[in-house]
Amino acid sequence: MSPGTGWETAPEMPGSSREEDGAASKNKPDNTAFTQQRLPAWQPFLSAGYVLPAFFLLGLIFIAIGLGLYFTSNNIIEFELDYTGNSPNSSCHHCTRNNTTNCKCTIHFKVDKVLPGPVFMYYKLSNFYQNHRKYGVSRDDDQLNGDLDYLKVPSEYCFPFRLDSQGRPIAPCGAIADSLFNDSFVVYKINSSGVSKVSLNGKGISWWSDYNVKFNNPKSDNGTLEQTFQGTVKPNNWPRPAYELATNPENNGFINEDFIVWMRTAALPTFRKLYRRIDDGMQPGNYSVEISYNYPVLSFNGQKRITFSTISWMGGRNAFLGIAYLVCGSACIVTGIVMFIVYIKYQGQHVFKEE
Amino acid sequence: MSLYGAGGGLVVKVGHWSRCMGRGGGVVVSMAQETPPARGCKLPRSGSRSRSRGRREGKSRSVRSNLLAGGAKAGEPPGRLHASNRLKTTKYTLLSFLPKNLFEQFHRFANVYFVFIALLNFVPIVGAFQPELALTPVVFILAVTALKDLWEDYRRYRSDQEINHMDCLVYCRDEKKYVEKYWKEVQVGDFVRLRCNEIIPADILLLYSSDPDGLCHIETANLDGETNLKQRQVIKGFTELETEFDPMKFNSVIECEKPHNDLNRFRGYIVYKNEKRAGLSKDNLLLRGCTIRNTEEVVGIVIYAGHETKAMLNNNGPRYKRSKLERQMNVDVFWCVIILFVMCLFSAIGHGLWVAQYGDQRPVFDVLGSDGTSLSPALSGLYLFFTMIIVLQVLIPISLYVSIEIIKICQVFFIHQDTDLYDEETDSRLQCRALNITEDLGQIQYIFSDKTGTLTENKMVFRRCTVAGVEYSHDANAKRLAMYQEPDSEDEECTSKSGAIPRCDSTSSHQSAKIVHRTQSTKSHRRTGSRAEAKRASILSKHTAFSSPMEKDITPDPQLLEKVNECAGQLEALRQHGQPLSHLTPELSDIIDFFIALTVCNTVVVSSPNQPRHKVRVRFELKSPVKTLEDFIKRFTPSRLTSGSNSSSSSSISTSKSLYRVSSSAIPSPSGEVTLLKMGEELGRSPQRDKSENFFQPGMVRDNGKDGELRYEAESPDEAALVYAARAYNCALVERLPEQVTVELPHVGKLTFELLHILGFDSTRKRMSVVVRHPLTDEIVVYTKGADSVIMDLLQQPSTENSTSKRTRKIRNKTQNYLNQYATDGLRTLCIAKRVLRKEEYARWLENHLEAESSVESRDELLFQSAVRLETDLQLLGATGIEDRLQDGVPETIANLRKAALQIWVLTGDKQETAINIAYSCKLLGHDEEILTLNAESQEACTALLEQCLNYIKSKSPQNKRFSVAENPSVDFIPSNGTSVTSPTLRPNFSLVIDGKTLSFALEKTLEDKFLALAQSCRSVLCCRSTPLQKSMVVKLVRDKLKVMTLAIGDGANDVSMIQVADVGVGISGQEGMQAVMASDFAIARFRHLQKLLLVHGHWCYSRLANMVLYFFYKNAMFVALLFWYQFFCGFSGSAMIDQWYLIFFNLLFSSIPQLITGILDKDVSAETLVALPQLYKSGQHSEEYKPYMFWMNMIDALYQSLICFFFSYWAYQDSDVDVFTWGTPITTLALFTILMHLCIETKTWTWMHVVSITFSILLFFTVALSYNAICPTCYPPSNPYWTMQRLMADPKFYLICILTPVAALLPRYLYRIFQGTLFPTPIQRGRQLDRLHPVACSHVNKWNAQGNWSATPKPDLVMPLSKDSGIGADESSSSTSQNVTLDTNQISNGPLNKQQTPELRETSLPTMELAGGAKYSLPNGNSSSVSIRNAQSHLHELQRSELATDLPFTEGGVRLNAHSGVDPSNIHLLNWRTPTPSTNDTMCFFHSSSHCSLQTQTVRGERCVPGNIEPEGMKLSKEVFPGTSHISTHVIPRNSLQESSLEMTPL
């Protein structure tokens, strides 16, 4: 470089050298924690020494929860009555024969302990695949919401339960509605003095949101529910049209709570659905249930049961959660102990110790 | 001043250019700054267009002037035939965008698959989801990609527009003058006028230049990055034009090649009206994108335009490779397909059976098919198969490919952003040119490296020379170089370390680094050179290639200088007296010839920095080198008649050249033979004439000498070095023109050599020659310089036994000896020779040569033969030794890469000795290694050699220990340091050295396996004298045969093929242009950057991506399995309990962000540890993060977790009145929690971004779920989840199950991780253990700082998991299992910080520090009380030493020890350092134990960093930092044991 050019002297001057820094290194990457991947970080370290306390703590908490759940669940009284009638000595056996209509049968049962109210009465079906894909989609929510258009022109999803053979729309359409469970039960308490009907409360057995929002009866400007349903036909399997499901107008048509409960398709092939509530609870004693046996289940090896259950804050009786918590908690403790042994044994060797 | 003015203009222009070229033309420079472009900026359009046009054109292209085209059809000039200059790099038009983009996207198999599945939903009988909904993810992903493409295309469009609308002057026929036109309007056949500093708009054939010699200088930086100016010449036949070139008169036809992309080749000829032809070469072509320099004005005709220009043909855009990980991933994707198939088949069969079990009695819930009839079990099974494909489609991860692309882009961004990979000197960052093989960097097993420019700086420094058999050692020069070396390395050390400081506070340490720089230069004058010089050099290099002061300022050897002066004096005297030069003694004559050769025999362009090279001279008719025979005869046959008149007429012209030229101008009637004979007589008289002409020269010389500094722009750094060397001896190259070279000699003054020919350098000949006419003797002399092996063979064989021949032989032998010596010293050697041609010889040769030149077909070959004919019977003048210094940090880098189990092969074109030497100095070869040298002359010999070597190695392996070397005469073992007797437990290390010839045999099909076997058993392989082709063959061989990941790194054009063949190609953007960079996947500025690139970024990229991919598979499998289990409970009907919205958006929205964040930001081990423990790199090499079994392990884990998730919910809701989606939603939630927590387990390092992303995901899920479940009571059939989530969230069971299930699901994995991490930690996990100390240390630092009390802080002993059996460096481990290596790990992470403690020590006058372990550490400065800042210098030193010693144990010893099991384990206790009676000796002995190099750098670093801390900021920082470092030296070992072990570690 020739002496006397600007370059020679420039670096000697402190000021200019810094300027040059800026000019010459315009490609220099930003030195930030992010771009240099130096963000403040925490490294969880999977070593026995660190996780031991966590394990013991978790284990203890789980065991505590588990115990609570277990006893809660155990306090729930629940019993089932099978009335399928597939065994000849069952009282409902006669109803399983073909072409019997309006068959009634009675099952007797005994309650040993006081069931505090409310006692929930369920009907339970087995091997009924309400979760079958094509079955599950076979409904029209718009129709059920009371949309008049859909009442007359149901959605394609309802096929093949959309129109009847004459091309009239079915209301409610779809396979789910068509296969509505139609057994009914009456519970009697058998006292020494006689037989008294136990009052069954069917109100509020469905979801509030279903009853009040999702399901609505179609409303025309004038006329009754029946008139509004004019032009539609009842589902094939139904004995009565929708507007005659119940006498109570609050529980009729699409907002019939039994219907709403049924329309909420069960997750598993064995399911129960809430039938009624016994708000006063059940005293010990003998009871009987009179069943109107209408619903055929034997063709698909189904079973029908009636379940009575008290409930707790965590729902019905289910020992599983409690046990699962207990098992998991114990597993945590056990592994904690194992780890502790390992830790004692190996700490000098591999584990980095820190005070 | 004008130049600088112009320079400013240049900068702007260049900037503009590279900006506006953008992707289009900024071939090299701008690529990396671009956001990653889409695949295929391959200009498909232009490609097809030129192809079709090619067919029309036939083999060649002929170009005519557009101005001649009949005149009438202005709209249809002949140029239309060819591509116009309009640039169109866009892929789409507004109309074509959608179809074309979709078409391109569907080239991806994955996209087709997803669209297929989405479309399957439209088939009612199999449709599982709402078809519209099923389309959304696919559409979303397609749309995102399309938007990205659109944006990129728009940017291309913008840059195209900008370029297309640049202006240039095109000759207009109607207006008969040059008019401004846009670039896009330029046509082939147009005449374009360009002025200085303009960018060339198309490939233009140079027809006219304002330069009197018909020259034009261009800068090709835009094209290949080379900053030196290149000369271009007006084509023959147009140089003679007296007047300004008139395009209207141009009626010749140019025949040339079809467009191709070879920048260095252009062939064709021009046919003049009179049917004469003249050859065209690349020297006549101005390439698009280059810039006109130093030439006022040029005119040319457009030959190639637009996309057919070489610049555009070379612009292939980034490369797309498929990484190893991706290949592996694709295998697993394939497995996923199979799993999916199996699941679907299983479901289909299950459904068939389920349907069949009901027989003809259809249950109410089995709904009839769409035709109203019931399907047969088989048919419904078949339909279900497709339904299941839709339901389970998520198993093939739709977003995996997108995620991978995002992650890679971010990885590229981070690599690009790394300041450690930034080179200040050249102001260049790392460039990622290949965007999708970042993770390959973490899996490299073999590195193939070029030597020159890669390992070395490619800054050629003249070191020594031998002339006429006498060696001139240039001791002073060596000293000077040492001066450069020292400060430089120190500089580097400091910058690199400060860059790698593990920061608690990045900004403050950054500041401190800066301060350190500044104060360093002000404080110690001795070193002022380094940084400032470097900076200046870097600035300079923008103007001048290869001329850092180090290369320029050569201290001449006094002895030789004296001889040169003497010689020149005599020369002058002889000339004064009119005596012939033969009166000089042979030695002196050799010396002067030697220097003339150095000065003349090159292609260096001279320019002066202070004045532009605008030559204003009278034009002469004789300009070009001799091109025709007549020309030759004309020139060399003086005519008294003409000469007399001419000389008188031109006597007023002051340059010697012109006088001489004129006087030797043409004569009218030459008759070949006669004139040739006459010539001798005439020439005999010429010295006289020269003398008289040169009489008034000295004045000018002095003029020139004042502004002195001429700049040399050379094509290769060797050339520049030699020219600078010659200048140091006052033999300066003053001017170079195409036909003459002016040399300035001491006493004699300027001599002008008429340059007759230049036979350029090529790699086959390995030499270059110039043919000049010597002005003093008028002889025709050939000066040749070249590789010694070549030149030595071409030397004149002394035929007779006279004194001359004896002398010749003696010189030759001596020179050969010196050459060997040079090579041993690692110098590059060049031989200089000359040959004096007799006129007849020359004439004969010339005839041939001209023939060769004018031939079009086999021109290259003929020229080669012609050159060979000329370069024989040479007379040896001397040889030079040029040092190519190692780049900074190369030995350390190689050592570290080695520790990372990377096999490093060096493939070089250099000679064996030089290569071996460089290999030693860069620690590629160790002195404890045996070197197997393979030099074979024939195939058979090679076979034998290979077998012998293999046997030898076998015999050396532990079974049979003893072996006698002497038995093997042909195998050249070089036992070094008597290590042939190695310890029996250790397998001896071998290194293989093979030369090019042998390599070519060894690469034969029959031998390659043996060669590979041999190479595999060697620690390093050195291939010398290898051609570019061989390099690539070696890489290919290793890559294909050994199935390993290869990386090739190089800087020059000769490495391009190798770089392209390797899995990962790395280019060094160094001195030799950008060709290597253009071919590479990654471009770095320095070799040492490779270390961080591979060890840190490679490792990170690999482990991140591997973990991400595995996680992805797991995630999808886990989610899909949930659905699969459900099939068992829904009659295999293909129904899903998970709402289809969740199902479809689960991957896309809810679980994607955390995994992306982890994939981008996770660090399994910190950068500092990765660098400190290169062994950790092995995990990538062995694909330990992603092995095939891991896929299955993940699948099994996914299975287990999904089982837990499914059945926990199943049992929890069993026998309840739960409905499908009220049951499915908790499962979704569980799955999400489980998947996210799984990620938490897999995440190694947490930053706030991880936390935020996970929180965000969970919140997003609940937000979406809650709003989705609240918006519409009748929508989204069939699930219609109205109020589901709301109801669930009021249910305690939901929370209970959400807590329990993820814990249960993840417990096994967590336990596995813990036990594995505790009992069998992988090296990576150990590395993390080290890492953990770093943040702790930081917090300690802060705590202590707050307390302001650090004197007695005990530091707990840190038990390092670095015992010899621990796996880190386990390969060499032998016994001793329970040995703990006690190390202060803070030194690993805090090492660089330590150096800043010194001022603190002084200020607070800490004489003693109580430290854990009871050891007392007294400062070894004797007076233990206070050390004031003012008189600190001497104490400082000691302090630093002590501090360094504390520094060293880890950096030098800690890791090293693991690699040397020869050390008694008891000594490994080690690294500890007790100073009961502290003395400097203690520390010193430690220094000796570590390697010399580190000693130096460490010391230097300590010293130079100290003063910076005097500054207030520095103070502050060191206060923060100091406490953390105060507990360094806590370990106690006996001193002698330390010495012992350390000495064992590094035999010096």
Alpha-carbon distance B1524 to B248, whole Å? 82
Angle at A172 between CA A171 and CA A177, to 5 degrees: 145
| pLDDT tens by residue, A35-89 | 888 888 777 765 666 778 888 999 999 999 999 999 999 999 999 999 988 888 8
Quick one: what percent of chain B has pLDDT higher than 70? 64
CB B301 within 8 A of CB B189: yes
Q: Do B417 and A1 touch (CB under 8 A)?
A: no
Number of cross-chain residue pairs from A and B with Cβ atoms under 8 Å apart: 339
Alpha-carbon distance A86 to A305, whole Å? 12
**Out of B427, B1136, B1314, closest to residue A25 by CB:** B427
Q: Do A313 and B363 touch (CB under 8 A)?
A: no
| Residue B1545 in this model has a pLDDT that exceeds 50 | no
| Residue A332 in this model has a pLDDT that exceeds 70 | yes
Q: Do B1129 and A269 touch (CB under 8 A)?
A: yes
| Residue B1309 in this model has a pLDDT that exceeds 50 | yes
Rank A130-134, B255-259, B511-515, B771-775 by mean pLDDT and report only the highest: A130-134
Residue pointed to by tokens 């050592």: B895
| Residue B38 in this model has a pLDDT that exceeds 90 | no
For residue A339, what is the nearest residue in chain B, using CA coordinates?
A: B1315
Hey, is the C-beta of A22 within 8 angstroms of any chain B C-beta? no
Q: Do B1167 and A37 touch (CB under 8 A)?
A: yes
**Out of B366, B416, B535, closest to residue A132 by CB:** B366
Chain centroid offset of residue A252 CA: 25
Angle at B223 between CA B221 and CA B225, to 5 degrees: 40
Structure tokens that stand for A179 in this block: 């296969």
Reported as a pLDDT band with limits 50, 70 and 90, residue B27 is very low
Q: Which of A13, A28, A42, A43 to mutate: most B Cβ within 10 Å?
A: A43
Structure tokens that stand for B1269 in this block: 């479940």
Distance from CA of A350 to the nearest CA of B (A): 6
For residue A321, what is the nearest residue in chain B, using CA coordinates?
A: B1212
Q: Which of B364, B385, B1280 to mutate: most A Cβ within 10 Å?
A: B364
Q: Do B1135 and A346 touch (CB under 8 A)?
A: no
Q: Do B1133 and A133 touch (CB under 8 A)?
A: yes
For residue B543, what is the nearest residue in chain A, using CA coordinates?
A: A1
Cα dihedral across residues A274, A275, A280, A286: positive or negative: negative
**Residues 233-252 (A) with a CB less than 8 A from some CB of B:** 237
Distance from CA of B528 to the nearest CA of A (A): 9
**Out of A25, A26, A157, closest to residue B1278 by CB:** A157
For chain B, the straight-line distance linking the first and the last C-alpha, in angstroms and rounded, comes to 55
Helices (H), B871-911: 890-899
Of the listed ranges B591-595, B1099-1103, B1196-1200, the one predicted with least confidence: B591-595
Contacts of A237 in chain B (CB under 8 A): 364
ipTM of the modeled complex: 0.91
Catalytic residue numbers of B read 450
Contacts of A80 in chain B (CB under 8 A): none
**Out of B1133, B1245, B1300, closest to residue A132 by CB:** B1133
Residue among B1165, B1518, B1520 nearest B1340 (CA): B1520
Contacts of B1277 in chain A (CB under 8 A): 137, 139-141, 155, 157
Reported as a pLDDT band with limits 50, 70 and 90, residue B173 is confident
Question: What are the residues facing B750 on neighbouring strands?
Answer: B744
Hey, is the C-beta of A283 within 8 angstroms of any chain B C-beta? no
Distance from CA of A133 to the nearest CA of B (A): 4
Strands B875-886 and B827-837: antiparallel
**Top-confidence residue, A354 or A198:** A198
Contacts of A42 in chain B (CB under 8 A): 1245-1247, 1335
**Residues 204-223 (A) with a CB less than 8 A from some CB of B:** 207, 209-210, 213-214
Hey, is the C-beta of A129 within 8 angstroms of any chain B C-beta? yes
| For range B570-588, the mean pLDDT | 72
The pLDDT score that the predictor gives to residue B344 is 94
Question: What are the residues facing A336 on neighbouring strands?
Answer: none
| Residue B1325 in this model has a pLDDT that exceeds 90 | no
| pLDDT tens by residue, B1413-1433 | 333 333 333 333 333 333 333
CB A108 within 8 A of CB A286: yes
Contacts of A318 in chain B (CB under 8 A): 1211-1216
**Top-confidence residue, B994 or B641:** B994
Q: Do B363 and A129 touch (CB under 8 A)?
A: yes
**Out of B709, B1307, B1328, closest to residue A331 by CB:** B1307
Alpha-carbon distance B412 to B1097, whole Å? 9
Determine which helix (DSSP H) or strand (DSSP E) holds B209, and give its type and residue range. strand B203-209
Contacts of A11 in chain B (CB under 8 A): 521, 531-532, 535-536
For residue A267, what is the nearest residue in chain B, using CA coordinates?
A: B1220
| Residue A307 in this model has a pLDDT that exceeds 70 | yes
Largest CA distance in chain A: 128
The pLDDT score that the predictor gives to residue A308 is 92
Alpha-carbon distance B32 to B12, whole Å? 20
Reported as a pLDDT band with limits 50, 70 and 90, residue B1354 is very low
For residue A125, what is the nearest residue in chain B, using CA coordinates?
A: B1215
b/e map of B1391-1403 (b: 16 or more CB within 10 Å)?
bbbbbbbbbbbbb
Contacts of B1100 in chain A (CB under 8 A): 37
The pLDDT score that the predictor gives to residue B644 is 35
The pLDDT score that the predictor gives to residue B347 is 94
The pLDDT score that the predictor gives to residue B1126 is 94
Alpha-carbon distance B830 to B465, whole Å? 9
Q: Which of B1138, B1274, B1275 to mutate: most A Cβ within 10 Å?
A: B1274
Tell me, what DSSP letter sits at residue B308? Answer: G
The pLDDT score that the predictor gives to residue B240 is 60
